[in-house]
Structure 1
Amino acid sequence: MKTLKTSYKPVALALLAIFTAGVIGMTLFSPASHAASDAKPATAKPALTVTTARPEAARLPIKLAANGNVAAWQEASVSSQSNGLRLAEVRVNVGDVVKAGDVLAVFAAETVEADLAQARAALQEAEANAAEAVANAARARSLQNTGALSAQQISQYTTAEQSANARIASAKAALSSQQLRMKYTRVVAPDSGVITARSATVGAVSGTGTELFRMILQSRLEWRAEVVAADLRQLKPGTTASVKAANGSVASGKIRMIAPTVDAQTRSALVYVDLPASAASGKDAPFKAGMFASGQFDLGTSDAITVPQQAIVVRDGFSFVFRLNADNHVSQIRVQPGRRLGERIEVLSGLNSDTQVVVRGAGFLNDGDLVHNVADTAAAAKVASKEATKVAAK
């Protein structure tokens, strides 16, 4: 009996295997399974909801960018014209705005006053001597025909008269010289402008020609833009330029002149642009001499094709737009961007004027994506923003 029970186990396992295989076969080849396999796949869902726009024609300004330094239009050096005099008073400092004729400094004039008084006295003495000589010469000429005086004596009186008149002229010249020295004791501004440097010190004894002050004449500044030789033909005197200061302020100026030579090292020439007085004068003026500034020259306008800024996608250093095809799939197109005006960018090449491009959501698309195009409304913008966030999260 024990041997009989053991012989049934292999048979039972074989029957169980056959039963399992049959169930699997019925499942695979049943009509229901065939029906499931013949069913169509589900409809593909759009990757993103977007808005589109067509390129627009516009007239954009033509700009020529340049860099350069701000410098004084003309700078004057105010020097001492008095030799050996002590500086008694300094009335201005750096940054002060002065007018033509304003007194900047005063030298001690005691020595000059004494010399001036001596010159006046010498002139009076010469005039008195000349009066006597003139009277003697007149009497001698009146006695010339009487024989009372010899011709030699008459000649002596006439010569004395001429010498006396010459001494008067010499005394007047000496007096003028001393008056000029007195004038030089007061250092005055040669023109209106702003003081940029001061080396005058009270109590110092200055020699002739010693610089006391330096000033910008008429407080005028200019922007000396460096322009390459190839772009010079586009510029001419009178062309308007927009110059940007270091603090962000922008001033409008005009080209005064273009340098007649080109630097042999940089191959660029200086273009002199006059800056307005409002931007260059005053302690709080945005432009200062010696400042670096950037700017643009206005060269007119030209026709251009523009697209919204959001439509341009930059990847791997290149610019692309996504064209919406008839099947709602997008194609990535490489374009060459140009000038920018507000929220629109010029497209130089790679795009036709009738091409429909994706605007909102373009930055989250890939070539060949299926999209859902909606009207450009605030609601559509919110939907596109939400879907773009989901795509970015994935």
Structure 2
Amino acid sequence: MSNTETNLNQASQDNSDQRSETGKQPLSRSLFVGLGVAALLLAGVIYLGIHQRAMAASNLGAVTERAAIATVNVAEPKSGASLEEIVLPGTTQAFIDTPIFARTNGYLKKWYFDIGAHVEQGQLLAVIETPELDQQLGQARANLKTAQANERLAEITATRWQGLLTTDSVSKQSTDVAVQDLSAKQATVESMTADVQRLEQLQSYEKVYAPFSGVITARNTDIGALINEGAGGSQGQSVVLQELFHMAAVNRLRIFVSVPEVDSDAAQNGAKVPLTLDEFPGETFQGTIVRNSDAIDLNSRTLNVEVDIDNRDGRLKPGAYVFVHLKLPDNSMKATHSLIIPANTLLFRSEGLQVGVVRGNHAELMPITIGRDYGATVEVINGLKPTDQVIVNPSDSLTSGSPVQVSAPQAGGSK
């Protein structure tokens, strides 16, 4: 082979090696770039996963903390300074309310008045027929006549023996026997007389009279009904106590009112009190406090007060629901500091009556003293400030220092 060919082959081989090295360099560079990108992507995925877990853990902790804070509704106390009277419920009662029973046995012969009838004292209400009693009275009168005859005979005998004793015609013993026999016969007459009078008194109960002037509110018998002494009928073996009539004196009515202890000073005997009834809207009646129990009831902590009202016109009826307006005594200091809060804010604890108020972001239990109870609301005379936010419907587990948050008022809700 010639030198020329040798040189050509050598040059061709060099060119081939150079092309091979040039192709390997771009391939290695792309591989490194791809690996770097993959590593970056992997690192990014790992970072995002860790970050999301951290955020989720942080959010869970925040949600848990927020859930641990109780959300409460609050109410603001209202001033009670304008309250000058208390309105208490009561029920009208007849000044005299009496059931009328029979005092003798027999059958009802006639009645003269029905329910709603106004009667005067002493008027005849009913007549009872008593055949057995009439027979007993006749027998008692006959026994009395016999006893009176025996008494007269004993008196004649005693008089004769006393006359014979003066002439010593009879013994002193025989005379004493005659005299004592007269005394026994006289005692028998007195006994028989008393028995006749007793039966005559029972017979007088055949007629039932009105014991006072009033109205008949009930009639529980009718003609021919069996009448038992002290009852209006019988059932089986036992006697059922049932009045013949029921009467009520309605010219004057009385109303019993339970006045709270804190307002007992408002119940002064002789004081005039206005009365209102739903039956007469816009109209006021005048009553008078006539008496009170002069003692506080231990169970209800109230004073029992009687209010009387003149009802000669008969407009008011017994049993009517009435509102008694008691004027409170002048106590401006008490009125200035009194506040009105809803009744559903109260907490009854062993420590006493309390309410929960929001101070900052925490609840605080405050002991209070209440005055008047108006049902849905109560008067607080000590323990609260007008600016306090009182928790409504507090939980039984609420304690001082518990974190709370005030619920946002609903749109269109009541203020």
Q: TM-score range by the shorter chain?
A: 0.5 to 0.7
TM-score when normalising by structure 2:
0.53
Aligned runs of 1:59-208 on 2, under 5 Å?
63-83=85-105, 85-208=106-229
Aligned mates of 1:202, 1:262 — CA distance in 2: 49
**Does structure 1 residue 295 correspond to structure 2 residue 320?**
no
Checking the alignment, whether the CA contact within 8 Å between 1:239 and 1:297 is kept in structure 2 is: no
Aligned mates of 1:169, 1:216 — CA distance in 2: 41
| 1:252 match | 286
Aligned mates of 1:62, 1:143 — CA distance in 2: 97
Aligned mates of 2:224, 2:295 — CA distance in 1: 47
| 1:277 match | 311
Give per-residue Cα distances to partners, 1:188-213, cap 9 Å, x unaligned.
12222222222122211122211212
Tell me how far 1:134 sits from its aligned partner.
0.7
Checking the alignment, whether the CA contact within 8 Å between 1:251 and 1:276 is kept in structure 2 is: no
**1:237 and 1:183, CA in 2 relative to 1: closer, same or farther beyond 3 A?**
same
Checking the alignment, whether the CA contact within 8 Å between 2:108 and 2:126 is kept in structure 1 is: yes
Aligned mates of 2:317, 2:116 — CA distance in 1: 11
**1:225 and 1:292, CA in 2 relative to 1: closer, same or farther beyond 3 A?**
same
Give per-residue Cα distances to partners, 1:102-155, cap 9 Å, x unaligned.
222110133333333332232222222211211110111111132211223212
Aligned mates of 2:292, 2:90 — CA distance in 1: 14
Checking the alignment, whether the CA contact within 8 Å between 2:286 and 2:309 is kept in structure 1 is: yes
**1:134 and 1:265, CA in 2 relative to 1: closer, same or farther beyond 3 A?**
closer
**Does structure 1 residue 223 correspond to structure 2 residue 252?**
no
Aligned mates of 1:127, 1:177 — CA distance in 2: 18
Larger radius of gyration: 2
Checking the alignment, whether the CA contact within 8 Å between 1:223 and 1:273 is kept in structure 2 is: yes
SS of aligned partner of 1:144: helix
Identity, % of aligned positions: 26
In structure 1, list runs of 5 or more residues that go unmatched: 1-59, 304-394
Checking the alignment, whether the CA contact within 8 Å between 2:263 and 2:328 is kept in structure 1 is: no
Q: 2:264 aligns with which of 232, 235, 256?
A: 232
Tell me how far 1:302 sits from its aligned partner.
11
Which letter does structure 1 place at the counterpart of 2:245?
Answer: F
Aligned mates of 1:149, 1:218 — CA distance in 2: 75
TM-score when normalising by structure 1:
0.55
Checking the alignment, whether the CA contact within 8 Å between 2:212 and 2:249 is kept in structure 1 is: yes
Note the aligned Cα RMSD (angstroms). Answer: 2.6
Relative contact order, CA 8 A, sep 6+: which one is greater?
1
| 2:352 match | none
Aligned mates of 2:186, 2:119 — CA distance in 1: 45
Question: How many residues end up aligned between the 2 structures?
Answer: 238
Aligned mates of 1:95, 1:221 — CA distance in 2: 17
Checking the alignment, whether the CA contact within 8 Å between 2:266 and 2:329 is kept in structure 1 is: no
